[in-house]
């Protein structure tokens, strides 16, 4: 048994007004304080515009807060973008990197993700690096090699830096579809991720990294997923928008 961190992370995507987000954050905080008895780490990833307000609101709570994206450059003429130092200046120390929706709609590549991971770590921001294959890639039996290519974005990090990262395996075909990867399918890929990390780094590093599963995680399938040997938590979309569901997932460890 390793003592990898158990994590329930909510990706709010482009949902919730500020007032709604404040309400959701407050409910999560209250439920976490009164009901969450395990040592799961809770993380939320609200839209950018809510980060500063919610970070203030959640000060002193057990809930960590992160951005859904980060820019790969220090500063400059990049209209519409937000830098690592801007995030840390408002107390944000987590970010998603390479979510499949950003790869699909905003042309993020393994190379741009690699640069985002480097700049995040440089600024003491923990990257949650999202990887996963499409349905076609799985059906044509390319899922293991696609995930391996995506993991190469981590190549070149120092052992110290890679140990700070979190990985989220999110098969694209399971996101928002109600179709979850079976716990066996998910665990098989999580083990493969550790094999690749062992090749890129070493066994100790590979066994120490928390790997989250994402894709239609709900209160009723979380326990089964979390019981698997290599699944250390979840990156939750839809179910993270309801405090009750989010907390019930976190209680499933």
Walk across the sheet containing 63-65 and list its strands: 63-65, 41-45, 7-11, 233-236, 211-214, 166-169, 126-131, 94-97
**Residue 215 interacts with ligand 13P (CB under 6 A)?**
yes
Report in angstroms how near the CB of residue 68 gets to ligand 13P at its nearest: 9
Rounded Cα gap, residues 97 and 168, in angstroms: 10
Report in angstroms how near the CB of residue 109 gets to ligand 13P at its nearest: 18
Rounded Cα gap, residues 83 and 100, in angstroms: 20
**Residue 176 interacts with ligand 13P (CB under 6 A)?**
yes
Site map (CB under 6 A) of ligand 13P, residues 10-49, x = contact: -x--------------------------------------
- Two tokens, residue 246: 């989010």
Tell me the three-class secondary structure of 42-92, residue by residue. Answer: EEEECCHHHHHHHHHHCCCCCEEECECCCCCCCCCCCCCCCCHHHHHHCCC
Q: Which of 133, 68, 54, 132 is nearest to 106 (CA)?
A: 68
Q: Which of 170, 230, 232, 245 binds ligand 13P (CB under 6 A)?
A: 170
Report in angstroms how near the CB of residue 239 gets to ligand 13P at its nearest: 6
Q: Which of 48, 198, 238, 242 binds ligand 13P (CB under 6 A)?
A: 238
Report in angstroms how near the CB of residue 233 gets to ligand 13P at its nearest: 12
Active-site residue, selected from the candidate residues 101, 108, 137, 170: 170
Q: Assess whether 133 carries a catalytic annotation.
A: no
Angle at the Cα of 216 from the Cα atoms of 212 and 222, rounded to 5 degrees: 60
Q: Assess whether 170 carries a catalytic annotation.
A: yes
Q: Which of 32, 217, 222, 250 binds ligand 13P (CB under 6 A)?
A: 217
Q: Which of 87, 175, 209, 222 binds ligand 13P (CB under 6 A)?
A: 175
| Contacts to ligand 13P from residues 61-80, by CB under 6 A | none
Question: Do the Cβ atoms of 87 and 121 come closer than 8 Å?
Answer: no
Catalytic residues: 99, 170
Residues that bind ligand 13P (CB under 6 A): 11, 99, 170, 175-176, 214-217, 235-239
């Amino acid at each position: 048994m390793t003592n990898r961190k158990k994590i329930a992370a909510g990706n709010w995507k482009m949902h919730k007004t500020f007032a709604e987000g404040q309400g959701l954050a407050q409910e999560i905080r209250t439920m976490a304080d009164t009901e969450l008895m395990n040592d799961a780490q809770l993380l939320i990833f609200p839209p950018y515009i809510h980060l500063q307000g919610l970070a203030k609101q959640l000060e002193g709570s057990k809930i960590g807060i992160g951005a859904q994206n980060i820019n790969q450059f220090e500063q400059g003429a990049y209209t519409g973008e937000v830098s690592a130092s801007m995030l840390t200046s408002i107390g944000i120390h987590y970010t998603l990197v390479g979510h499949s929706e950003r790869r699909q709609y905003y042309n993020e590549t393994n190379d741009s993700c690699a640069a985002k991971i480097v700049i995040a770590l440089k600024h003491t921001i923990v990257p949650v690096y999202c990887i996963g294959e499409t349905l076609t890639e799985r059906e044509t039996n390319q899922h293991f090699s696609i995930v391996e290519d995506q993991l190469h974005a981590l190549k070149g990090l120092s052992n110290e830096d890679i140990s700070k990262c979190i990985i989220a395996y999110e098969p694209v075909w399971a996101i928002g579809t109600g179709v979850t990867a079976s716990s066996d399918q998910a665990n098989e890929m999580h083990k493969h991720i550790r094999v690749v990390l062992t090749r890129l780094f070493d066994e100790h590093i590979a066994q120490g990294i928390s790997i989250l599963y994402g894709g239609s995680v709900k209160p009723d399938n979380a326990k089964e997923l979390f019981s698997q040997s290599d699944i250390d938590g979840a990156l939750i979309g839809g179910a993270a928008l309801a405090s009750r569901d989010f907390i019930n997932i976190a209680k499933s460890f």
